[in-house]
Amino acid sequence: MVTTPTFNSWVRCPNPNPEAYFRLFCFPYAGGGASIFRTWSNSLPPDIEVCTIQLPGREDRLKEAPFTHISPLVEILTQIIHPYLDIPFAFFGHSMGALIGFELARKLRSEQAPTPNHLFISGRRAAQIPDLNPLIHTLPEPEFLSELRQLNGTPKQVLEHYELMQLLMPILRADFSICGTYTYLTEPPLDCSISAFGGIEDSGETPEMIESWSVQTSSLFSLEMLPGDHFFINSSRPLLLEMLAKKIEQVMALGFV
């Protein structure tokens, strides 16, 4: 039997399960919060405990300053997440979240702490491939909003709500800064296997860019392209969760390769 640590502001486990044999940590995309994943445990086997990461600056942490660079964020996450690493686990991250999960896995390795048994990468080009437009977070407001519309991840009614967008703008700029200021440093490949997912209609993150994650593991790698654009995580959620469940089952069966 395992015991999920008590509530903290960073890690949320909507359905704690002391009998869980596996934990899935979920990292949000830019502008997103833990609520993105609030229903995921309903579609996954009950023995998989879903723990969502709530970053500062959003939802019930709105008054806290968001991070603008990935290194200090990963530093604190390494300490925050450590009590939760008492059973096998995997990281899932979409877009910005994929980058955070990848760097956190490398940081845990450098600290000789438990590392993920599997890494799920979603909607993000390989870490070694630079962003084509790293300065999105510095654009004037009209151009920044135009970029958000092209990504199609922010509802139209939110984009057109001036007061709400003024509230969300600092968070979105901070998150885009995390990605835009990211500098990839060469390290040995991870030991854990990696599954990468992309959207068939996502013109910004091509299959070739996503498949390049294969060099970041010395173990097994797989690529799946799902229906939808950059936010297929929402439009193809049932299919994605079905794939996650099957892959975790395979990882367990193969002895956590």
Asked if the structure places residue 129 within a domain, the reply is yes
CA distances from residue 197 to 71, 88, 95, 121, 223 in whole angstroms, order as listed: 24, 22, 10, 6, 6
Asked if the structure places residue 172 within a domain, the reply is no
* 120-137: average pLDDT: 91
Q: Known catalytic residues?
A: 95
| Whole-prediction pTM | 0.93
Mean pLDDT, the chain, whole residue set:
92
CA distances from residue 145 to 32, 188, 204 in whole angstroms, order as listed: 16, 38, 17
Asked if the structure places residue 20 within a domain, the reply is yes
Q: Residue 104: which domain range?
A: 11-133+186-253
Q: What pLDDT, in 10s, does the model give residues 102-111?
A: 999 999 999 9
Asked if the structure places residue 180 within a domain, the reply is no
Asked if the structure places residue 3 within a domain, the reply is no
More confident residue, 164 or 12: 12
More confident residue, 141 or 238: 238
CA distances from residue 177 to 51, 118, 186, 200, 211 in whole angstroms, order as listed: 25, 27, 21, 26, 24
What CATH number does the domain containing 91 carry?
3.40.50.1820
Residue with tokens 């979105």: 172
| Per-residue pLDDT at 249 exceeds 50 | yes
Asked if the structure places residue 157 within a domain, the reply is no
| Nearest one of 252, 65, 76 to 175, comparing CA atoms | 65
Asked if the structure places residue 162 within a domain, the reply is no
Q: What pLDDT, in 10s, does the model give residues 218-231?
A: 999 999 999 999 99
Asked if the structure places residue 221 within a domain, the reply is yes
Binned at pLDDT 50, 70 and 90, residue 26 comes out as: very high
Q: How far apart are the first and last CA of the chain?
A: 23
* 21-43: average pLDDT: 95
> How many domains does the structure of the chain reveal?
1
